[in-house]
Amino acid sequence: MAFSATNAAFEGFKVVRRHPLALIFWALFYAGIMIAGLALVGGSLIGLMSAVEALETSGATSPEANMPVLAGYMTVFAIIVPVSLIASAMIYAAVSRAVLRPTESAFGYLRLGMDEVRVLVVSLALFVVFMVLGSVVVGIIGVVAGITTAADMPALWLLVVLLVCAAIALFAWLGVRLSLAIPITMAERRIAIFDSFAFTKGRFWPLLGMALLAFVMSMVVGLLGSLVALPVQLATGGLESLAELEGESLQVIVQTAWPAIAAWVVVNAVMSALQVAVLYAPFSAAYRDLKGGLTDAPALG
C-alpha cells in the first residue's frame, strides 16, 4: 500500500470502525486509571490544597513555610508520574497493535508485556533526547539574548528571534523524523529509537501534514465531545460544583457529588480513548504503508 498522508491521518477512525470493542476497552481502561488516580491521590490533593490555602493566609515566603506545599506536590507527582507513564505505554502500544497486528484483538489490544516495556523505554529515551536538546537550544538562545542585553545592541534581537524560529523548526523536524520510533519498536519487537530516520527520509512534508491533520481531527473530536459533555454536566451539576465542597473530606465529596464525578469520568474516558486513537494510529499506519511500499510486502489491516 502506498503511503498517503490523508489516508493515514484517518487511521484512528478506521481502527474504531473495524474494532468498536477496542474503543470500549480503551475507555474502560482510562476510566479505571482515572478512578485509581482519584483514589490514590485524592487525599493528598485535598492536603495539598489545604497547605496552599494555609500558605496564602499566612503570607509567609520563607523556604520553610513552602515545604508543606512542596512535599504535597512531591507526593502527588510520585504517584501520578509512574502511573501515567505505564498507562501511556499501554495505550500507545494498544493503538499500534490495532494497526500493525489487527488479529491480536483480545482485551481491545491492551496488554502489559514486553511490547509495553519497549514502548516505555523508547518513550523515555525520546523524552531524554528532547530534554537534552531543548536545554542546549534554550541555553544558546539565552546566551545570545544575554549578550544582546549586556552589549546594548537592540539590532541583535533580530538574531534572537531568528534563533527561536530556527529552534521551533528544528524540533518540528526532529519530531517528525523520530515519529515512527514507537511503531517500528512495536512492529519489529525490538527497541528501535533512531531507525525512524531511515523510514522518514525524504517524507518529511507528507508526515508533517499527516501529523497536523491528525492533531486537528483530534481537536474536532474534542469539540464534538464537548457538545455531549456539556449537557451531561448541566444535568449533573458538573465538576465545578465541587467548589462548593471545599474543605470537605474525600468521602463527603464523593458521596455528595458522585453523579458529577461519574459523568465526568465516563465522558472523559470515552473522549480520551477516541482522541488517542485519532492521534496515535496515523503514525503506525504510516509505518505500515511505508514498509509495504519499501518491501512490496502485503499491507496489514
Contacts with another protein by CB under 8 A lie at 6, 9, 154-155, 157-162, 164-165, 209, 212-213, 216-217, 219-220, 223-224, 226-227, 230-231, 233-234, 237-238, 240-241, 243-244
Question: Minimum CB separation from another protein for residue 134, in Å?
Answer: 19
Question: Minimum CB separation from another protein for residue 126, in Å?
Answer: 23
Question: Minimum CB separation from another protein for residue 35, in Å?
Answer: 24
Rounded (10°) angle between helices 250-295 and 204-236: 160
For another protein, give the closer residue by CB, 84 or 226: 226
Could you tell me the CA-to-CA distances from 218 to 30, 170, 171, 263 in Å, in that order? 17, 24, 21, 21
For another protein, give the closer residue by CB, 104 or 246: 246
Q: Which residue has the cell 451531561?
A: 232
First to last CA, the chain: 11
Could you tell me the CA-to-CA distances from 187 to 27, 47, 127, 300 in Å, in that order? 24, 44, 21, 11
CA distance 32 to 265: 9
For another protein, give the closer residue by CB, 102 or 209: 209
Question: Minimum CB separation from another protein for residue 227, in Å?
Answer: 5
> Cβ contacts of residue 123 below 8 Å, gap of 6+?
85, 88, 89, 92, 182
3-state secondary structure 198-254: HHHCCCHHHHHHHHHHHHHHHHHHHHHHHHHHHHHHHHHCCHHHHHHHCCCCHHHHH
For another protein, give the closer residue by CB, 154 or 202: 154
Looking at residue 188, its amino acid is E
CA distance 63 to 60: 9
For another protein, give the closer residue by CB, 39 or 216: 216
For another protein, give the closer residue by CB, 9 or 186: 9
Task: State the cell numbers at 37.
Answer: 488516580
Question: Minimum CB separation from another protein for residue 115, in Å?
Answer: 31
For another protein, give the closer residue by CB, 117 or 156: 156
Question: Minimum CB separation from another protein for residue 164, in Å?
Answer: 7
Question: Minimum CB separation from another protein for residue 100, in Å?
Answer: 24
Residue 83: how many other CB atoms lie within 10 Å: 15
Helix (H, G, I), strand (E, B) or coil at 244: helix
